[in-house]
Amino acid sequence: MKAIRKIFGLIGLSIGAVLFTQSNSALGQSVTVLVGSGGLKFFPATASIPVNGSVIWSWSGSDHSTTSGTPPGTPNGLWNSGVNNSPHSFTNTFNSSGTFPYYCSIHFGEGMVGNIIVTNSAVPPVVTITNPASGTVLSAPASLKLTASANVASGNVTNVEFLQGASSLGNVAAAPFSVQVNNLTAGAYTFSAIATADSGLTATNSVSVSVINASPLILTSPTVSAPAQFTFKFSSDVGLTYVVQVSTNLSIGWTSIATNTAITDPTVFTAPNGASAGSFYQVFRLPNP
């Protein structure tokens, strides 16, 4: 009975060693391949690791090599351990994804070949411009704070770069990600945010903003009670897109309350309920497409 217990003990220890090797691979660090274990073969014949992971070849037999390439051609030069005997080990780190075949330079004719599969497990970041909203209309000269949120499921966001068109507005290395933009003249603008993760992967989000010059607003029949109703006239450009803005205090600024893409001349406009007597109104014409 003692002999039987000893045999089972050895079997359990051997299985434990193999499972431990596979567990290391699952953690994304390294995997061990046995060279010449149980005959003229690599075990496992196919191993998988992530980018920047390593393969450790451990010799269990004699007169074997691990040589990158496909027999019977010449080695491709990525790695070559040379011919060695047990005990010996050789390690190679893989910095790019792909499938990498290899063989024993002595016994490839007997089928002693293998493959390393390297996968890119990194995921790109996610970036969203949170201010301003795409389609925002501002009056010239305009100023705004360009703000973005950025994150990545695995790893960290190293920086967010902001662009106005193709011109960089600056890189921000940590949240909150934002830059100030000042003195925009009338025109159409595209702002972008490019987030970069520590994996090197990037993501981009863009918004469009229109900056316009004010056109004169001519009130022909204003009323003094809410809801305010009045007629305004334009001297030209009938049928283009206009934005109506209101202000209850000119020192605070203006709020867009309506957009009309088919304005006629003259146009009767009724302010939303709640507009108080004494409010100021103005009209902007959007830039031509």
Q: pLDDT tens, 53-82?
A: 899 999 999 999 999 999 887 789 999 999
- According to the model, what pLDDT value does residue 8 have? 28
- Check residues 95 and 232 and name the one with the higher pLDDT: 95
> Position of tokens 């068109």?
165
Distance CA 195, CA 200 (A): 10
Asked whether residue 32 carries a pLDDT value surpassing 50, the answer given is: yes
Residues 6 or more apart in contact with residue 120 via CB below 8 angstroms? 50, 51, 97
Distance CA 33, CA 91 (A): 10
Per the confidence metrics, is the pTM higher than 0.75?
Answer: no
Distance CA 54, CA 66 (A): 14
Asked whether residue 274 carries a pLDDT value surpassing 60, the answer given is: no
Domains defined for the chain, CATH in brackets: 2-119 (2.60.40.420), 126-212 (2.60.40.10), 214-285 (2.60.40)
- According to the model, what pLDDT value does residue 26 have? 35
- According to the model, what pLDDT value does residue 23 have? 35
Question: pLDDT tens digit string along 235-270?
Answer: 444 445 667 777 777 666 677 776 665 555 555 566
Question: pLDDT tens digit string along 89-138?
Answer: 999 999 888 999 999 999 999 999 999 999 877 788 999 999 998 988 78
Average pLDDT, the chain: 77
